[in-house]
Amino acid sequence: MSTPTRSGERGPAERQAAPPARPRRAPWLLDVYRSALGKKYAMALTGIVLMAYVLVHMIGNLKLYLGASELNHYSEWLREVGEPALPRTGLLWIVRVALLVSFAVHIHAAYSLTRTNRRARPDRYRSPRDYVAADFAGRTMRWTGVIVGLFVIFHLLDLTWGYAHTDFVPGDVYHNVVASFRRWPVALFYVLANVALGYHLYHGGWSLFQSMGWNNPRFKHWRRYFAVAFAVLVVVGNVSFPVAVVTGLVG
C-alpha cells in the first residue's frame, strides 16, 4: 500500500519520472570549431590572415632599399596610424593581438587535425605510391611550421624587442636590421627560415582553396600558380634583405 503524500508534493515515482536537466550548449562558433570541418575552415581563414600579413610585412620592409630615413619614417608611421581616434600604437596593438589569436588558432587546429588523421590512419603512407602522392611541401608541413614558429620568436627578440640584438637602438629600424644581418649566423638562419616559410606558404596556399570548398577542377592549375607565385614572391623579397646587407648593397 503506497504512502499518501500531502497536497502539492510529488511521490517517489513522480520524482523519478522528472526529465533530466538539458546540458548547456556551447556557443555556436565553438560548437562548429569542435568538428573537423570547422577546424579546416579555421585553418584556412587564419592562414589567409597570416599570409596577408606576411605579404604586407615584406612589402613594407622593401623600404630598406630607399635608405634609413624612409624605413624609419615608415616604422614611425605604423606607430602613429589611427591617431587621434586611437592612442599611439593603438591600431598596431590591435593588429598584433589579431595576429596572435590567428597564430594560436592556426597551430591548435593543425595539431588537432593531425591527431585526428593519425587516429583514423595510424599507418601513414602505407604504400610507396601514397608517399609519392604527398608532395614534399605537404609531408614537411609540420616541420616547416615549427621552424617558422621558432623564427618568429627569434625575429621578435632580435628586431622588435632587442633582447637578442648585440647593438639594438630603439626606433632606429634601419640600423637594427643592418647590424643584425651583418652577423652571418643570423643572416643564414633568416635565409633558411624563409625557405621553410616558402614551402609552408606553397602548401598552405594550395590547400586553403580545398579547405574552403573552392576546388573546382577547372581552376586546379590556377591554384598551383597562385601558391607558387605567392611563396616565391615572399621568399625572394625576404631573402633579399640579408643578402643585400651581407654583400654590402645595403649598409
Spatial distance between the Cα atoms of 20 and 17, rounded to a whole number of angstroms: 9
CATH classification of the domain holding 228: 1.20.1300
Dump pLDDT digits (tens) for 166-182. 999 999 999 999 999 99
Host domain of residue 117: 36-246
Cite the beta strand spans of 38-136 per DSSP E.
Answer: none
Question: What confidence score (pLDDT) does residue 184 get?
Answer: 95
Dump pLDDT digits (tens) for 81-113. 999 999 999 999 999 999 999 999 999 998 898
Number of domains in the chain: 1
Instruction: Measure the CA angle with vertex 239, ends 235 and 240; round to 5°.
Output: 115
Q: Is 97 inside a domain boundary? A: yes
Q: Is 7 inside a domain boundary? A: no
Q: Is 192 inside a domain boundary? A: yes
Residue 185: how many other CB atoms lie within 10 Å = 7
Rounded percentage of the chain residues whose pLDDT exceeds 90: 59
Q: Is 13 inside a domain boundary? A: no
What is the widest separation between alpha-carbon atoms in the chain? 102
Mean of the per-residue pLDDT values of the chain: 85
Q: Is 216 inside a domain boundary? A: yes
Q: Is 26 inside a domain boundary? A: no
Please give the grid coordinates belonging to residue 69.
630615413
Instruction: Measure the CA angle with vertex 233, ends 165 and 149; round to 5°.
Output: 45
Q: Is 172 inside a domain boundary? A: yes
Dump pLDDT digits (tens) for 125-144. 444 444 443 476 677 788 88
State the amino acid at position 39 in one-letter form: K
Structural contact between residues 230 and 55, judged by C-beta atoms closer than 8 angstroms = yes
Q: Is 213 inside a domain boundary? A: yes
